[in-house]
Structure 1
């Protein structure tokens, strides 16, 4: 399988883990030093990000479109649209997100893990 196909499969698995609330499966895909930048500018590390997935939100749908993937050795940059519907558990309120997302993936021991994710509102 090519690097591009492996990365597409890894991102698809990440989206499915979010929709299935599979926190343990998601944790295995994330680097220990994850930096996740949310649309509001807040930055979470791995533990805080996973706590949000577990305790604050449900991901009703997550889709990636227009992915551009560049592989540079054991590092890859993935840029594309993120379209998701999310429910806030505290208020039981659904909201839609459309963002442009940049991710950095790193291959370690033959496996791609998500190291950095930055979300921005589209122009």
Structure 2
């Protein structure tokens, strides 16, 4: 069984640098950089559920020019060998077809693989936008929140 562990400091720094390059390339509409950052087998699932492969995502970026600004929250990075899973918040400021802007915020899971050349590249991306949580918090979530407040 493969075990995922928290990334060591050097790996975390390397992956965060790749993520910063991805954000900059999307905002700058830099197809050459995006081509370098994405594995050929990339699967990218946008917030509304639209799924793109690598070529389609680059075409989407060049055609739509939607990305204005991106901000990340705390990121959890776990690794198993040459695979990393990064999860956390993403807030995108996006351009709409009519020129107006919108904010899309949600939880994101990204998978990266370190290639034979030692470089990390994105293999998978999935964004789930924040929505109404009709069930409320689990008992364990309420207990954690209460414990954290008591320790503050």
Matched ranges for 1:28-47 at <5 A: 28-47=36-55
Q: TM-score, normalised by structure 2?
A: 0.76
Aligned to 1:99: 106
1:2 and 2:10 are equivalent in the alignment: yes
Q: Deviations over 1:3-22 (max 9, x none)?
A: 11100110011111111111
Higher helix share: 2
Q: CA RMSD in A?
A: 1.3
Which of 84, 94, 98 does residue 76 from structure 1 map onto?
84
The question of whether the paired residues in 2 share the 8 Å contact of 1:101 and 1:120 is answered with yes
Between Structure 1 and Structure 2, how many residues are aligned?
122
Aligned to 1:112: 120
> Unpaired segments of 5 or more residues in structure 2?
1-8, 134-152
Counterparts of 2:65 and 2:25 in 1: how far apart (Å)? 13
* Relative contact order, higher structure (CA 8 A, sep 6+): 1
How far residue 27 of structure 1 moved from its aligned partner, in angstroms, is 1.4
1:2 alignment partner, SS class: helix
How far residue 121 of structure 1 moved from its aligned partner, in angstroms, is 1.8
How far residue 120 of structure 1 moved from its aligned partner, in angstroms, is 0.3
> Unpaired segments of 5 or more residues in structure 1?
none
Higher strand share: 1
Q: Deviations over 1:27-81 (max 9, x none)?
A: 1100111000111112100111111100013311011111000011100000011
